[in-house]
Amino acid sequence: MLVLASASPRRRTLLQQLGVDFLCSPADIDETPGANEQAGDYVLRMARQKAAVAARNYRAPQYTVLAADTTVVSDREIMGKPRNRQD
């Protein structure tokens, strides 16, 4: 069984459109970028942390964890997740 370590509605929709059976297990982690952290390093760190949390919660061999992260960058600054529709 696939475990999606994400709260992203788009990732859930993509898996549903592909006909994949999965469990959704979003991780409660601190998503604050590190000082001077590059965007690529940041999203990799976030995906790894999300995967680690899900892997701890779903240890049985029948589970496979899928984790990913996306960010928006402007002028080399990580913008973070939008807080509302206007963001």
Q: Which residues are catalytic?
A: 69
Helix (H, G, I), strand (E, B) or coil at 66: strand
- The residue among 66, 78, 68, 83 whose CA lies nearest residue 36 is 78
Residues with Cβ < 8 Å from 43, sequence gap 6 or more?
69, 70, 71
